[in-house]
């Protein structure tokens, strides 16, 4: 057995042992570790930024620019957000041990569902080193051990953050082995983790299509994909200009490098004499590049003809693909064919069309008359989020603490038999 | 591409197309199909029993006997149970479209969770041809299409039942392609299904350890294991003889070929002068073969020394492994090491020990003072069950209609943006 495999399996085994202890900790004990982490992050601020600068320099050498480079950077508001995120997680209600329902059977047997941790959770993510902190805090708060594997482009920052997370266990009940950051940048480290189904209960891949495809193919551990967002907005014929343009601009431009950003706009053909040209002009004026279907290109000479691949591209940039459709039916058909089960929104004044869209589109978040940017655990009131699942099982859509737990059945009897 | 692979992929693709239609059907339309199935089963009773006799003769030629042969047999009460099971499923509340929660965010955005079907569900099972009927009815009632693959030993019966399920779609809104029974007994048919992750949303393997291992290794489709049950009962020192013996006998002997049957008894050492010998004698008198730890073999000369493998064996027979433990801690340790996350019960008069057991044992069903036989969807009040999941994600333990659905987020806004 090769050395790397042995190392990953050893790490997974000790995570599993640690997970049994984490599962039995009370909220106070887990929160003490989160608070230690906050303190230690501030104390080691300089060390961490030094590591982060090393990663940024590496990116510059590879000529990485734009949103991809920006994601790597831990400075500015991102640092403060990371700390306040931790403080919020400490304040979240502990899901472990909650009895969510309890009922009594005709024979007097009491039956309930109790929330329990999943066990060991592997998180495989790209860029964004702050995920290291968020993900570890959420996993442990929900009573789990975690194994973290960030992108090789953020390896220095991730390892520095990992040391903080582990050192913060000192003088707490949380075992050090409950948090591991995989230091090997070799991609086969991921593959060994994905085959460790005896020790790992869940793997969450967060990243681009290539990572997701690789993990789906290789994993014998259950996975919840946190996939690209090809988010759609459908502008119905009854939509009003003010609301439509404000929702489109917020969904596309609020922050372009996020998975809940708008990537494809579908517009009802009945709007093409008035509403549609006004929307297109507003987009152009806001600096958005438009890749359009032939009809859009006829209306707007500045539009670039969309290729087939544009309908499945997550631009993460100031680019929007726009298509004219005959109505709700064609919009739904397009979303089913090209979407990624992430977030879709309709803008309409018609109650019938709104309800049809809500009922029939089965993406993980489906909205009426709101920005796609609300597809976010914090904005929806989940307290925090580990990511946005596009896998239908277990947790579909923004996934908070609850998604990191499961429910067992508990039975309270007085000697009941079935015979 | 080989022919078998093409056939399975074509079947999966048409199941996916059909699933979009099933997802939009109302309860009345799905129930009409279930009722047609009942009628058609009665009409074709003779044809089905002829197919079942062919399977039984095949089993006899292979000298299959005991519980394994019994499971194949569709006659007697099993036929009537199958029909009444269908009638019950028709009466179950339809989960699709249920909004399980709805809350309002500070900005007025209404956020809810709506139940939706999973899509296409593959079920891979051994023996028990009645599963063909139950599983198809549950999948379609929950708005899904299903692909069924029973054991090759029941192939004639399964194909006859599959024809009934498909023919019953005539004059209903349920598309015929929503139900498929794979007719190819070649095992690689399973492997092709397990790689069809673009078309299949979930695979449920129900069967022995070899099947489960194979499916876990090969599948890129999400799976929920419905695994062997190595169920434990722990007799605490405070247990009373009457209750303990009645629960042990019911758990072990009510029906020996079921996954919620008792396989290992753990007994507190402080009972060994009185309670334990009485329990062992009762078991012997009831015809149970005892495989004991050294301490048990000293107390009961008739006991057979347990081998290490006995602690992980699902006997499905009148055999019980019995071990003396020092107390709760060792009982939990044993369950964690040898159990299969199915069902564990404690028999105790101590509230402290009962609560510790309920909190700390994280198998899918954990009980106090009741028979292990209650780990059953119908008995727990779920209405019906597709099986008992030993996978922690999504549905852990007895799994009913709800487990065949997921929840999407729905947002109802009035133009809210995030900026």
CATH number at residue A349: 3.40.309.10
B237 shares a domain with B214? no
Span of A380-394, B27-41, B337-351 with lowest mean pLDDT: A380-394
Residues 6+ apart with CB under 8 A from A77: none
| pLDDT > 80? residue A85 | yes
B252 shares a domain with B182? no
Burial A224-236 (b: 16+ CB within 10 A, else e): bbbbbbbbbbbbb
A237 shares a domain with A219? no
Searching chain B, which residue's CA lies closest to the CA of residue A215?
B220
| pLDDT > 70? residue A1 | no
Distance CA A154, CA A158 (A): 6
Give the sheet arrangement for strand A202-206, strand by strand.
Answer: A179-181, A145-149, A120-125, A202-206
Identify which has the larger pLDDT, A206 or A33: A33
Which residue shows structure tokens 């987020």?
Answer: B409
B137 shares a domain with B266? no
Searching chain A, which residue's CA lies closest to the CA of residue B381?
A105
Distance CA A134, CA A141 (A): 11
| Angle in degrees, 0-180, between the axes of helices B155-167 and B27-43, rounded to the nearest 10 | 130
Q: Cα distance from B113 to chain A (closest Cα, Å)? A: 9
B57 shares a domain with B202? yes
Nearest to B392 by CA among B342, B332, B331: B342
Nearest to B397 by CA among B367, B365, B362, B360: B365
Contact at 8 Å (CB) between B401 and B383? Answer: yes
* H or E segment and range at residue B189: helix B188-194
B235 shares a domain with B208? no
What are the start-end ranges of the E strands in B165-213?
Answer: 179-181, 202-206
Whether B400 is in a domain gets the answer: yes
The terminus-to-terminus CA distance of chain B in angstroms comes to: 51
Bridge-based pairing of strands A387-389 and A397-399 is: antiparallel
What are the start-end ranges of the E strands in B217-311?
Answer: 231-235, 262-268, 289-292, 304-305
Contact at 8 Å (CB) between B261 and B252? Answer: yes
- Using alpha carbons only, what angle is made at residue A112 by residues B140 and B100, rounded to the nearest 5 degrees? 50
Establish whether this prediction's ipTM goes over 0.90. yes
So what's the pLDDT on residue B367?
A: 98
Whether B244 is in a domain gets the answer: yes
Give the sheet arrangement for strand B99-104, strand by strand.
Answer: A304-305, A289-292, A319-325, A262-268, A231-235, A343-347, A365-370, B405-416, B110-117, B99-104
Nearest to B125 by CA among B115, B114, B139: B139
Whether A385 is in a domain gets the answer: no
Give yes or no for A353 touching B (CB within 8 A): no
Q: Model-level pTM?
A: 0.93
Distance CA A201, CA A403 (A): 13
- Counted across chains A and B, CB pairs separated by less than 8 A come out at 208
Question: Which one of A197, A371, A418 has the shortest CB-CB distance to B216?
Answer: A197
197-216 of B, contacting A, C-beta below 8 A: 197, 201-202, 216
Substitution target in A217, A254, A374, A402 with the highest count of B β-carbons within 10 Å is A374
Distance CA B143, CA B23 (A): 5
**Chain B residues within an 8 Å CB radius of A219:** 220
Contact at 8 Å (CB) between B368 and B348? Answer: yes
So what's the pLDDT on residue A42?
A: 96
Nearest to A19 by CA among A156, A149, A147: A147
Q: Cα distance from A393 to chain B (closest Cα, Å)? A: 6
Mean pLDDT value of segment B88-103: 96
**DSSP assignment letter at A9:** H
**Chain B residues within an 8 Å CB radius of A375:** 409
Mean pLDDT value of segment A343-353: 98
B332-372 pLDDT per residue, tens:
999 999 999 999 999 999 999 999 999 999 999 999 999 99
Per-residue confidence at A338, pLDDT binned at 50, 70, 90?
A: very high
Q: Which residues partner with A146 through β-bridges?
A: A121, A179
Range of the domain at B42: 3-227+390-411
Q: Is A137 exposed, middle or buried (0-12, 13-18, 19+ CB in 10 A)?
A: buried
Across the interface, do A408 and B364 touch by the CB < 8 Å criterion?
Answer: yes
Mean pLDDT value of segment A47-53: 97
Across the interface, do A374 and B406 touch by the CB < 8 Å criterion?
Answer: no
Across the interface, do B367 and A216 touch by the CB < 8 Å criterion?
Answer: no
Long-range pairs for B32-36: beta carbons < 8 A, 24 or more residues apart: B32/B172, B32/B173, B32/B174, B33/B140, B33/B168, B33/B169, B33/B172, B33/B173, B33/B174, B34/B86, B34/B89, B34/B90, B34/B137, B34/B140, B34/B141, B35/B90, B36/B168, B36/B169, B36/B170, B36/B171, B36/B172
* Count of structural domains, chain B: 2
Neighbours of A218 (CB within 10 A): 17
What string of DSSP letters covers B349-366?
Answer: S-HHHHHHHHHH--SSEE
Neighbours of B337 (CB within 10 A): 9
**Torsion of Cα atoms, B32 then B34 then B38 then B43, to 10°:** 70
Tokens of B18: 């059909």
Distance CA B384, CA B391 (A): 19
So what's the pLDDT on residue B383?
A: 82
A196 shares a domain with A211? yes
Distance CA A171, CA B171 (A): 70
Per-residue confidence at A419, pLDDT binned at 50, 70, 90?
A: confident
Whether A416 is in a domain gets the answer: no
Per-residue confidence at B1, pLDDT binned at 50, 70, 90?
A: low
So what's the pLDDT on residue A344?
A: 98
Q: Which residues partner with B373 through β-bridges?
A: none
Across the interface, do A397 and B409 touch by the CB < 8 Å criterion?
Answer: yes
Nearest to A116 by CA among A101, A134, A98, A131: A98
| pLDDT > 90? residue B66 | no
Q: Cα distance from B233 to chain A (closest Cα, Å)? A: 13
220-239 of B, contacting A, C-beta below 8 A: 220, 222-224
Span of A122-131, A312-321, A353-362 with lowest mean pLDDT: A122-131
Q: Tell me the CATH number at A166.
A: 3.40.605.10
Identify which has the larger pLDDT, B57 or A65: B57
Nearest to A125 by CA among A181, A196, A201: A181
| pLDDT > 90? residue A208 | no
Distances A341 to A206, B47, B110 between C-alpha atoms, Å:
15, 44, 20
Distance CA A194, CA A183 (A): 16
B240 shares a domain with B97? no
The SS3 assignment for B115 reads strand
Mean pLDDT value of segment B305-321: 96
Q: Cα distance from A284 to chain B (closest Cα, Å)? A: 20
Whether A125 is in a domain gets the answer: yes
Distance CA A257, CA A385 (A): 17
Q: How much of chain B, in percent, has pLDDT values that exceed 90?
A: 88
Whether A418 is in a domain gets the answer: no
Nearest to B247 by CA among B344, B144, B335: B344
Nearest to B378 by CA among B290, B232, B258: B258
B147-158 pLDDT per residue, tens:
999 999 999 999
Mean pLDDT value of segment A265-275: 97
Nearest to A134 by CA among A83, A182, A172, A175: A83
B100-114 pLDDT per residue, tens:
999 999 999 999 999
Mean pLDDT value of segment B201-223: 91
B317 shares a domain with B205? no
Tokens of A31: 């929160």
Bridge-based pairing of strands A110-117 and A99-104 is: antiparallel
**Chain B residues within an 8 Å CB radius of A26:** none
A207 shares a domain with A59? yes
A310 shares a domain with A235? yes
Span of A49-53, A394-398, B124-128, B233-237 with lowest mean pLDDT: B124-128
Substitution target in A336, A370, A372, A389 with the highest count of B β-carbons within 10 Å is A370
Whether B379 is in a domain gets the answer: no
Whether B418 is in a domain gets the answer: no
A194 shares a domain with A68? yes
Searching chain B, which residue's CA lies closest to the CA of residue A366?
B410
Bridge-based pairing of strands B397-399 and B304-305 is: unpaired
So what's the pLDDT on residue B419?
A: 78
Q: How much of chain A, in percent, has pLDDT values that exceed 70?
A: 100
Residues 6+ apart with CB under 8 A from B102: B110, B111, B112, B113
Per-residue confidence at B264, pLDDT binned at 50, 70, 90?
A: very high
């Amino acid at each position: 057995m090769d050395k790397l495999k042995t190392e990953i399996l050893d790490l997974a085994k000790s995570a599993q042992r640690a997970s049994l202890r984490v599962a039995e900790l009370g909220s106070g004990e887990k929160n003490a570790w989160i608070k230690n982490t906050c303190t230690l992050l501030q104390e080691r601020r300089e060390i961490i930024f030094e590591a982060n600068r090393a990663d940024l320099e590496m990116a510059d050498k590879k000529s990485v620019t734009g949103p991809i480079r920006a994601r790597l950077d831990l400075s500015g508001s991102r640092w403060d957000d990371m700390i306040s995120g931790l403080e919020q997680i400490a304040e979240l209600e502990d899901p472990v041990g909650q009895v969510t329902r309890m009922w009594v059977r005709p024979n007097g047997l009491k039956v309930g569902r109790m929330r329990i941790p999943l066990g060991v959770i592997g998180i495989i993510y790209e860029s964004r080193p702050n995920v290291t902190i968020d993900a570890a805090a959420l996993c442990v708060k929900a009573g789990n051990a975690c194994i973290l594997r960030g992108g090789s482009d953020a390896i220095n920052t991730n390892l520095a953050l990992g040391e903080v997370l582990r050192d913060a266990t000192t003088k707490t009940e949380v075992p050090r082995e409950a948090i591991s950051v995989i230091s090997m940048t070799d991609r086969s480290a991921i593959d060994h983790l994905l085959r460790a189904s005896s020790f790992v209960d869940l793997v969450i891949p967060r990243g681009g299509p290539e990572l997701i495809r690789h993990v789906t193919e290789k994993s014998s551990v259950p996975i919840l994909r946190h996939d690209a967002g090809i988010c759609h907005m459908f502008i119905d014929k009854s939509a009003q200009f003010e609301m439509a343009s404000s929702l489109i601009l917020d969904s596309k431009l609020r922050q372009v490098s996020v998975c809940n950003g708008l990537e494809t706009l579908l517009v009802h053909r009945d709007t093409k004499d008035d509403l549609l040209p006004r929307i297109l002009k507003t987009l152009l004026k806001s600096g958005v590049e438009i890749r359009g279907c032939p009809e859009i290109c006829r209306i707007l000479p500045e539009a670039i003809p969309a290729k087939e691949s544009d309908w499945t591209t997550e631009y993460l940039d100031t680019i929007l693909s726009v298509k004219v459709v005959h109505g709700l039916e064609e919009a739904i058909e397009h979303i089913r064919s090209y979407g990624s089960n992430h977030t879709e929104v309709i803008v309409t004044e018609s109650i019938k069309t709104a309800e049809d869209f809500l009922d029939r589109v089965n993406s993980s978040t489906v909205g009426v008359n709101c920005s796609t940017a609300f597809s976010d655990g914090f904005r929806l009131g989940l307290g925090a989020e580990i990511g946005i699942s596009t896998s239908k099982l277990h947790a579909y859509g923004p996934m908070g603490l609850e998604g990191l737990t499961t429910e067992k059945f508990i039975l309270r009897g007085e000697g009941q038999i079935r015979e």
